[in-house]
Chain A
Amino acid sequence: MAHVENNPMSEEDILIKEQGYDDHFHDHHHGDKYQSNFITTYIFSQDHKIIARQFLITGIFWAIIGGLMSLIFRLQLGFPEENMAWLRPVLGRWITLNDAGVGSIAPEFYYAMVTMHGTIIVFFVLTAGLSGTFSNLLIPLQVGARDMASPFLNMLSYWFFFLAGVVMFISLFLSTGPFSGGWTAYPPLSALPQASTGSGAGMTLWLVSLVLFVVSVLLGGINYVTTVLNLRTKGMTMWRMPLTIWAFFVTAILGILSFPVLASGFFLLVFDRGLGTSFFLNEIFIGGQALDHVGGSPILYQHMFWFLGHPEVYIIILPAMGIVSEVLSVHARKPIFGYKAMVYSILAIAFLSFIVWAHHMFMSGVNPFISNFFVVFTLIIAVPSAVKVFNWIATLYGGNIRFTSASLFGIGFVSMFISGGLTGIFLGNSALDIQLHDTYFVVAHFHIVMGIAAFFGMFAGVYNWFPKMFGRFMNETLGRIHFWGTVVGAYAIFWPMHYLGMAGVPRRYYKFDVFESFGQFSQMNKFITVAAIFVFALQILFVINFFYSIWKGKKMTTKNPWGASTLEWTTPIHTGHGNWEGNIPSVHRWPYDYGKDGKEFISQIQPLAEGEKDAGDH
């Protein structure tokens, strides 16, 4: 809701001018040598806002690819008997024809699609596309910095991600197909080309791509942490940072601490594949031959993988949580409830995320005694998670909620996080995991809690900060259609999977009719596939809305369209390099003064009134 009455823009400009901090930025950057031509402005840009847009658009590209892959394997699961020959023009010989000319999806290809879907969505979309986009966009803008601590490393971060994407993309076109051993890439399957066609060149490119990706995450992460710690503007204490920044900050720390372990695991796997070492291999007979590898342990790889893998799910969900906290507060026109509890719960979740990794390995053959600890720590995570949920709900309570696409996706996020989080309580309990492990119950759980929920967080962020990115609004009607369709469709896809999982149906099955026990759900599988196609179509609607709005969307006419109190909305509508034209604003209060003292909102740059206490200090 605009606030045209007292023209606060100019008032804010005066505040920045009078109270702000003069870093002589524009004396040094005369003529802006860093953005002098098209290439340095839009391609090899060092401006965090351009890099954010690059991450986002690349993320959208990968989301479409990853989504399409899921449709292909859902077609197989929903309609295993159907003739797939019509896919031959696109998929070529991955569609095998029988004598009658009836086409079906080759099992190797099915598994390649499952694997690539997971890898792409987890790493390229929900890590790079989500955290990469919003950390880049919001950290400098919301802490009051001209740019990242190292714009150059920041640029490299994107281009390493881009390169990782190129390598992965090439792997899709190999004659032996991309890697097909699951996104977790457990050896020996991933280590031995004899074990699966995708474990040959496809796996090599997969490893190269993800090592490049780790480099990207680390370069980005170092920058985010440094920027948050060192480049906060005058008055921006840690306890005055918006929850988005807290989330991105902690996410970056998680990434820095966990991705190197994954990279080490990958290197050892490379050694096992190419140099004849036996870190993960032991006593294997395959392809009619007993291998020389002895003494390794495939479980070691699982430890190294999940030491990243579990923090990774928080790397995905924490930024979404931060975004949702901010969006719900702004659009409910209320302070976020329990700001400090929110921060502490982010910190608690982040800490715990490092000591729960083996809950992915209860049934992997690790000593069952060890599992006791992992059960305890895992289920403790439910407590800070519950606190967050209650706080979001309490934020809505008594609000004056403005239903925008952003706030709807925020509410949808909370609903998804509840549904998916609660099933985590089943899976985190090792005794129940005996039956539920590697069934569709797990698929339902993590898709709802970190797939759909994270996507919802991302959508909330895109709709909310689109004006800041492009100076225009996305179309709200299409946005709301997008939301309601997606929330219904996503539940339609994943809710029934709980029942499949309870019935014991294992995940990663190419078809179910080999088993009597698993083959009785063909109607449900059809339903899920149809729902998936519906949801995918709605995302195309989002993509159309996104690109159309970049050029044709409703123009932004005021600096602060949502009436938010954070710093990014004090920058000019068309935010140039360096973010603020004159001084950097200085900060006088916490970021959630909504509805305080009868005012709709009070910007962080407003000095405290006589005798007023900063509500953040409690």
Chain B
Amino acid sequence: MTALLAILCIALIAIIAIQIGKVTELASKIRGEEDMQEIINKRNANYSMVFMVVFLVACIISAGYYKNYMLGYGPHVAASIHGKTLDGLFNTTLFFTGIVFFITQIMLFYYAFKYKGARGRKPLYLPHNNRLEMIWTAIPAVVMTFLVVGGLDAWNEVMADVTPDEEFMEIEGTGYQFAWHLRYPGPDGKLGTRNYKLISGSNPLGQDWTDKKNLDDIHPSEVVLPVNKKVRVRITARDVLHNFYLPHFRVKMDAVPGMPTYFIFTPDKTTEEYRQELSKYPEYQVPDPNDPEKMLWETFNYELACAELCGSGHYSMRRLVRIVSEAEYNAWLSQQQSYFMSSIRGTDEDPYKNEVLDEEVKQRKMEFSDAVQKAMGATEAEGKVLRLNYVYFETGAAKLTDMSRYELDNLVETLNKYPNMTIEIGGHTDNTGDAASNQALSAERANAVKGYLVGKGVAAGRLQTQGYGQSKPAESNDTEAGREKNRRIEFKILTQ
């Protein structure tokens, strides 16, 4: 039915159109073709002028209306150092092209108006004029030279790579269908190597975990950068082309599978500063439609987008970008955990599964000495008991594993530091097996620890041992996790 109606409508319009056409044909028959053409010339010459005026005025008014979205005007200023150069270049170009635009459009439509055909008018016979042609070849050539020089100057500065002695930070953005995966280098300041063949559900970037530079790399969910610090973005793609696009920073670069690209920029406005500037403009002093509690300027955020068609979800590759002060950045960074430690460590993918990493040794040492400090300050008896978290035995035996030495060395260090300290080493088990043999095993294990410490030069007299067996569970023995907690070595500070 609707189709029929549509067809009828089109047919009706066609008939009307043809009738309009016929009427004028008739008119020209009555008035004579030449008369009619002269009337038409006059009419269309007038339309030309009307169109020219309306068009040019509309250009000016719309430019005024949208000026806040133009580069470098109003709130739409670049938030990076190089971006301001580009905004300036844009406006220089706009100035020159604007002049040409108005002059040529006015000439075009005005001449059409002025030289409308009329009977008896003799057109000018003017096949060429070399001087004029020289002038309008030379002027664009000179103007273009300025624009080219200005443009290339800016271009080469923006695209120049960092020099070795320059201070900068590097981050990485990897595009995939359909999101960005971000990577920060972690405390070592270096991004680890990647191999696309290693990509898996748990290793989204294909990081090679045997490269130790990878172990501290962070995978944050948003781009957080300190203000006024040069950033080199390493841009990669996992599947198809993407484009790392930060509109507010005038940053754009394709992400190409198998070929990293780079873009270097320095953000010079924090998110907060940008919001403050927006707050000066009335169009931002309205409630945010998504969050009516707040003004539009308060909810402003920098964004990361994709600017190279990458498939059906191309329009949705958003990541939040936050520019913060140096202090805030450091605070944020210290909160971030390395992807390896949070998601890979201890799994089958971990090539260091049976090793303790240097970082962990350091970490444990700090934890241990903190715990000792706390225990030494404690007044009640329970506070003096410390668990040795990383001491392991072979199953069912009192033989220390090699991995235990780090924790025991921490204990040795503590005992050396406090020569008056004496301790009781206590062994505990869970409730599997019979109580008597558990008791025996726990005593043997406590002795094994003592043996290690004595071997490291601690006087045997400072060390007592005790096997508690399953008598003092720390947790419930009903769950495996609880039982694991119960199989433990503790030490109690007796004197200090």
A389 within 8 A of B: yes
A588 within 8 A of B: no
Question: Which B-chain residue is minimally distant from A289 (CB atoms)?
Answer: B199
Report Cα–Cα, A506/B253, bound state, in Å.
Answer: 13
Cβ–Cβ contact A397 & B239, under 8 A: no
Task: Select B21's contact among A403, A439, A478, A514, beta carbons within 8 Å.
Answer: A478
Contacts of B124 in A (CB 8 A): 334, 397-399, 595
Cβ–Cβ contact A397 & B115, under 8 A: yes
B435 within 8 A of A: no
Cβ–Cβ contact A595 & B125, under 8 A: yes
- Majority DSSP secondary structure for residues of B touching A: helix
Contacts of A548 in B (CB 8 A): 14, 18, 21
B243 within 8 A of A: yes
A569 within 8 A of B: no
Contacts of A594 in B (CB 8 A): 123, 125
Cβ–Cβ contact A334 & B258, under 8 A: no
Cβ–Cβ contact A503 & B76, under 8 A: yes
Cβ–Cβ contact A108 & B312, under 8 A: yes
In the assembled complex, the CB of A343 is this many whole angstroms from the nearest CB of chain B, namely 12
In the assembled complex, the CB of B322 is this many whole angstroms from the nearest CB of chain A, namely 13
A102 within 8 A of B: no
B81 within 8 A of A: no
Contacts of A339 in B (CB 8 A): 127-128
B391-429 interface with A by 8 A CB criterion: none
B354 within 8 A of A: no
In the assembled complex, the CB of A173 is this many whole angstroms from the nearest CB of chain B, namely 19
A414 within 8 A of B: yes
Report Cα–Cα, A403/B118, bound state, in Å.
Answer: 11
**Given known A-B contacts A397-B126, A400-B117, A418-B108, A2 and B261 have beta carbons under 8 A apart:** no
Task: Select A422's contact among B101, B118, B206, beta carbons within 8 Å.
Answer: B101
**Given known A-B contacts A383-B137, A425-B147, A515-B318, A335 and B126 have beta carbons under 8 A apart:** yes
Contacts of B89 in A (CB 8 A): 429, 431-432
A205-213, A266-274, A279-287, A574-582: which one contacts chain B? A279-287
B366 within 8 A of A: no
B38-46, B165-173, B368-376: which one contacts chain A? B38-46
In the assembled complex, the CB of A370 is this many whole angstroms from the nearest CB of chain B, namely 11
Report Cα–Cα, A507/B419, bound state, in Å.
Answer: 73
B177-224 interface with A by 8 A CB criterion: 177, 196-197, 199, 206
Cβ–Cβ contact A372 & B156, under 8 A: yes
Cβ–Cβ contact B155 & A283, under 8 A: no
B241 within 8 A of A: yes
Contacts of A375 in B (CB 8 A): 148, 151-152, 155
In the assembled complex, the CB of A283 is this many whole angstroms from the nearest CB of chain B, namely 4
Report Cα–Cα, A376/B245, bound state, in Å.
Answer: 25
In the assembled complex, the CB of B425 is this many whole angstroms from the nearest CB of chain A, namely 51
Cβ–Cβ contact A510 & B127, under 8 A: no
A400-444 interface with B by 8 A CB criterion: 400-403, 408, 411, 414-415, 418-419, 422-423, 425-426, 429-432, 434-435, 437-439
Cβ–Cβ contact A338 & B128, under 8 A: yes
Report Cα–Cα, A617/B256, bound state, in Å.
Answer: 55
Question: Which B-chain residue is minimally distant from A419 (CB atoms)?
Answer: B101
B436 within 8 A of A: no
B30 within 8 A of A: no
A189 within 8 A of B: yes
A297 within 8 A of B: yes
Report Cα–Cα, A380/B258, bound state, in Å.
Answer: 34
A1 within 8 A of B: yes
Contacts of B251 in A (CB 8 A): 434
**Given known A-B contacts A283-B196, A400-B122, A196 and B312 have beta carbons under 8 A apart:** yes
Cβ–Cβ contact A422 & B100, under 8 A: yes
Chain A 253-297, CB-CB to B under 8 Å as 1, else 0, gives 000000000000000000000000000011111100010001011
A511 within 8 A of B: yes
Report Cα–Cα, A514/B304, bound state, in Å.
Answer: 11
B116-170 interface with A by 8 A CB criterion: 116-118, 121-129, 132-133, 136-137, 140-141, 144, 147-148, 151-152, 154-156, 158-159
Report Cα–Cα, A338/B71, bound state, in Å.
Answer: 38
Contacts of B151 in A (CB 8 A): 375, 379, 429-432
Report Cα–Cα, A415/B103, bound state, in Å.
Answer: 11
In the assembled complex, the CB of A338 is this many whole angstroms from the nearest CB of chain B, namely 5
Question: Which A-chain residue is minimally distant from B155 (CB atoms)?
Answer: A431
B303 within 8 A of A: yes
Question: Which B-chain residue is minimally distant from A500 (CB atoms)?
Answer: B69
B332 within 8 A of A: no
Cβ–Cβ contact B309 & A111, under 8 A: yes
In the assembled complex, the CB of A346 is this many whole angstroms from the nearest CB of chain B, namely 15
Cβ–Cβ contact A189 & B303, under 8 A: no
Contacts of B306 in A (CB 8 A): 506
Chain A 327-354, CB-CB to B under 8 Å as 1, else 0, gives 0000011111111110000000000000
Contacts of B318 in A (CB 8 A): 514-515
Chain B 10-41, CB-CB to A under 8 Å as 1, else 0, gives 10011001101101110000000110010011
Cβ–Cβ contact A334 & B21, under 8 A: no
A79 within 8 A of B: no
Cβ–Cβ contact B239 & A285, under 8 A: yes
Contacts of B101 in A (CB 8 A): 418-419, 422
Task: Select A334's contact among B18, B44, B125, beta carbons within 8 Å.
Answer: B125
**Given known A-B contacts A286-B240, A487-B51, A545-B17, A554 and B155 have beta carbons under 8 A apart:** no
Question: 30 A–B contact pairs at CB < 8 A?
Answer: A1-B34, A1-B37, A1-B117, A189-B241, A196-B312, A286-B238, A297-B259, A338-B133, A372-B156, A375-B155, A376-B148, A390-B104, A393-B108, A396-B108, A401-B45, A411-B112, A422-B97, A422-B100, A423-B97, A425-B96, A429-B155, A432-B89, A435-B86, A484-B51, A495-B59, A504-B247, A510-B312, A516-B300, A545-B17, A618-B127
Q: Ordered nearest first, which 6 A-B pairs have the shortest CB separation?
A: A282-B258, A398-B124, A504-B247, A475-B21, A368-B159, A283-B258
